[in-house]
Structure 1
Amino acid sequence: MKPYALNDITLMQYIMLINGMSVSFGFIEIPGMMATKVGTDGWITILISGLITMAASFITIQLMKKSPHGTLFDLLKQKFGTWAGRAAAILFALYFLLYAYDGLIYTVRLIKGRMLMETPAFLIMLMLLLPTYTIVRNGLRIVGRYAEFAVFISLWIPLVYMYTVKHLHVLYLLPILKGGWQPVLSAVPGTLFYYLGFVSSIILYPFIKHQKKAPIALLIANSLSILSYLSITLICTMFLSPDEATIIHQPAIYVLKSIELSFIEQVEGLFIAFYAFIFSLSWIPPLYFTVFCLSWVMGRADHRIPLRLILFMIGTSSIFYIPTYDELEKISIWLGESGIAIEYAAPSCLIALLWIYGRVKTERNQL
């Protein structure tokens, strides 16, 4: 019997967790980032970054196939000793904690700036942390079910953007590659930030019911992320002129101002309210992964104690200090740089290391 069978997740939940973590706040930010750095050719950068992410994701899956009934930490412990497993678990705990904190601060700033201007930021933070504790404390199965709920309740959002079709100008996309390949390729490292989250497979893989279908599920999750980013970037690019796109903050929300519905006054307000469920996937699953890693290090099955400690520290610190937008941007840069190292580079290095380890062990046995 698998050691994690009592808390297993379905392939649909696996897809929603991976896709939700990557799309979350990237859906709003990526059109503006593409307009500033690439211009109207941003959709090409998104495609290239998406293909790179797919390749890195499949490398991660190949790594986890070496330990189908355990996490990466169990694999490292088995091959190199307890110290290697604990070191990796602590490293990933810190990474997922940074991921979750970045998502929390971004959401607090967005809600305060767009909806609750008069509400203190620490109160918004506390309102977010209370349901977070309720969900995370009950384990991965509940986190997976929440991810399904968050995605399905937000499926109406892409349909709303269809109302902007009459305002789109396809000619804004032309000519293609007007600045050559250099701007397109130079923006790829920064775009990879918006695809982060797939490395959670190192924890999710042993929980999946049908592990043989995990590569297909990961392909679907990454394809949904690429499709989401492509659609919103193309809509914003064709809605705004090239000059407007570079000066308007969060174009994905701005274009909603053109939509007029008889039964609602401000579509963008409703969008933010419902999209908060998607935002929550940028911190709820990472917080679970954080406490899972810490519990693994301590050898405890109960993750609620580290969860309470982390949430208490975040909630208490928010009373005295909330990062500004400039500081949040620095946090995102740190997350992006560490994410490229941990999610894109580390799995390939570990596979190479395990291959060398296997060859050396085989040669020693033959002596």
Structure 2
Amino acid sequence: MKNYIGNEITLMQYIFLIHGIQIGTGVLQLPRMVAEKAGMSGWIPLICGWVLSSLASLIIIQIMKKNPQSTLMDIMTIYFGKRIGKISSILLIIYFSIVSFTLIQKSILFIQVWLLPGIPSYIIMFLFSVPTYIIARNGIRIIGRYAELVFFLVLWMPLFYIIALNQNHHWVHLLPLFKNIQQSLMATQSTIVSFLGFEVTFLFYPFLKTKKAASLGIIIANSLSLLVFLFVTIACFVFFSPDEITQYYEPTLSMLKVVEFRFIERMEIIFLAFYLFILSTTWIPYIYSMAFCSTWLFNKGKSKDYLLLFLVFFILIMYFVVPTFPKNDSLMVFYQKIGALFSYAFPVFLLIYSFIYYRIRGRITK
């Protein structure tokens, strides 16, 4: 257990850190995914996913409150011993490496399709690694400041969708509002993964200055993500017909093709270029988490050393293995499964165990 004073983050940074992780790459494909599962009632599973993610987030906060200066690895060591603590840190490194690699690979594929089709993936990975290392090497406080800056920097971007809807929109696409309720509820499983990102609270809670506001902060972060998801999804539903929306891989970008000005035609390219800032707030915290867990596991060196090592490793993978959308989709499905278990099922188990642990410990003390 370490003292994290000196690298603390504010409540605003904590909120935008979680919110930035959540919206990431999922926004670009989310309208198509929910339309395939629930039709034009796809906004219903989004609300259900928000409820479940908020409950899981509050459970994590309750777990962390019992050991406010401890990360998940420290808590696992307290509950189960040093060996399990070490194993948990290894599992977290594997989890964060899969998540960060999957997300950054997806971002590279988007860039190759829309912006730089002739540039090899390892070159783009190298270009990503430079700012990622510069930001993440200074710790969680700088990452939190960066997430806060990006949030305010991209507040104008919804205007793109408002302009597109002014040229083409049909509200009748949403009718009836409550069609296939059972099918919509069943589609909740595909939306809860869109809210993944709050699980970083297991690591970043000790860095939060005002821990009393942690529950409120994580609810605000989830709510901001829900507003973004609802806005983008409903905008795509109104713009595209029910049959048309499933034909576009990234409908959130495709609908922007109708936005043109005299001085520039392809506004979706400009949108994606600025959206790279949002994408970076997704993979940077995960890559730092991987380095942070490595530092805890080996108890020597600095996080920035492991960070550099992992970035070089990712570049080498991109060099020898050419990424494709089918490969990335398979990796994304795997990440979503383990992410759902880690973020939703594991906190429930740990909360029950912690209750039993302190109950037995209290009796022994008496």
SS in 2 for 1:155: coil
Matched, 1:253 2:249: no
Please tell me the residue identity of whatever aligns with 2:310: I
1:27-49 deviation per Cα after TM superposition (whole angstroms, max 9, x unaligned): 11101111112110000011111
Matched, 1:4 2:1: no
Deviation at 1:7, TM superposition (A): 0.7
Aligned equivalents of 2:300, 2:71: Cα separation in 1:
15
State the match for 1:85 in structure 2.
Answer: 85
Aligned equivalents of 2:104, 2:237: Cα separation in 1:
28
State the match for 1:302 in structure 2.
Answer: 302
State the match for 1:218 in structure 2.
Answer: 218
Contact 1:190 1:336 in 2 (8 A): no
State the match for 2:279 in structure 1.
Answer: 279
1:41-82 deviation per Cα after TM superposition (whole angstroms, max 9, x unaligned): 000011111111111111111111011112122222223321
Deviation at 1:260, TM superposition (A): 2.5
SS in 2 for 1:242: coil
Matched, 1:157 2:173: no
Deviation at 1:270, TM superposition (A): 0.5
State the match for 2:264 in structure 1.
Answer: 264
Aligned equivalents of 1:152, 1:18: Cα separation in 2:
15
Contact 1:105 1:322 in 2 (8 A): no
Contact 1:49 1:191 in 2 (8 A): yes
Moved more, 59-68 or 307-316: 307-316
Deviation at 1:95, TM superposition (A): 1.1
Contact 1:193 1:340 in 2 (8 A): yes
Please tell me the residue identity of whatever aligns with 2:137: R
Contact 2:18 2:221 in 1 (8 A): yes
Aligned equivalents of 2:36, 2:262: Cα separation in 1:
34
Aligned equivalents of 1:307, 1:5: Cα separation in 2:
21
Q: Name the CA shift for 1:301/1:120 in 2 (closer, same or farther; >3 Å).
A: closer
Please tell me the residue identity of whatever aligns with 1:169: H
SS in 1 for 2:347: helix
Moved more, 104-113 or 292-301: 292-301
Matched, 1:115 2:115: yes
Matched, 1:199 2:199: yes
Moved more, 304-313 or 3-12: 304-313
Deviation at 1:208, TM superposition (A): 0.8
Deviation at 1:18, TM superposition (A): 0.3
Aligned equivalents of 1:217, 1:363: Cα separation in 2:
34
Moved more, 82-91 or 325-334: 82-91
Please tell me the residue identity of whatever aligns with 1:177: F
Deviation at 1:195, TM superposition (A): 0.7
Contact 1:132 1:284 in 2 (8 A): yes
1:148-203 deviation per Cα after TM superposition (whole angstroms, max 9, x unaligned): 2222221111122111332221110011233x233212221121111101010011
Moved more, 194-203 or 85-94: 85-94
Matched, 1:63 2:70: no
1:64-123 deviation per Cα after TM superposition (whole angstroms, max 9, x unaligned): 101111212222222332122222222222111111101110011000000111111211
Matched, 1:315 2:309: no
Moved more, 136-145 or 260-269: 260-269
Which 5+ residue runs of structure 2 have no aligned equivalent? Answer: none
Aligned equivalents of 1:140, 1:236: Cα separation in 2:
35
Aligned equivalents of 2:15, 2:264: Cα separation in 1:
32
Please tell me the residue identity of whatever aligns with 1:95: Y
Please tell me the residue identity of whatever aligns with 1:90: I
RMSD, matched Cα? 1.4
State the match for 1:32 in structure 2.
Answer: 32
State the match for 2:97 in structure 1.
Answer: 97
Aligned equivalents of 1:265, 1:149: Cα separation in 2:
28
Q: Percent identity?
A: 37
Aligned equivalents of 1:297, 1:224: Cα separation in 2:
34
Contact 2:121 2:323 in 1 (8 A): no
Please tell me the residue identity of whatever aligns with 1:107: S
Deviation at 1:314, TM superposition (A): 0.8
Aligned equivalents of 1:23, 1:88: Cα separation in 2:
27
Please tell me the residue identity of whatever aligns with 1:185: L
Contact 2:63 2:354 in 1 (8 A): no
Aligned equivalents of 2:75, 2:246: Cα separation in 1:
47
Aligned equivalents of 2:300, 2:42: Cα separation in 1:
46
Contact 1:66 1:75 in 2 (8 A): no
Q: TM-score, normalised on structure 2?
A: 0.96
Deviation at 1:135, TM superposition (A): 1.3
Contact 1:28 1:252 in 2 (8 A): yes
Moved more, 326-335 or 251-260: 251-260
Q: TM-score, normalised on structure 1?
A: 0.96
Aligned equivalents of 1:322, 1:153: Cα separation in 2:
33
Deviation at 1:301, TM superposition (A): 5.9
SS in 1 for 2:243: helix
Moved more, 275-284 or 302-311: 302-311
Matched, 1:338 2:329: no
Contact 1:19 1:225 in 2 (8 A): yes
Aligned equivalents of 2:311, 2:184: Cα separation in 1:
40
Contact 2:34 2:190 in 1 (8 A): no
Matched, 1:130 2:126: no
Deviation at 1:253, TM superposition (A): 0.5
SS in 1 for 2:260: coil
Contact 1:13 1:144 in 2 (8 A): yes
Please tell me the residue identity of whatever aligns with 2:59: I
Please tell me the residue identity of whatever aligns with 2:96: F
SS in 1 for 2:142: helix
How many residues were matched structurally? 364
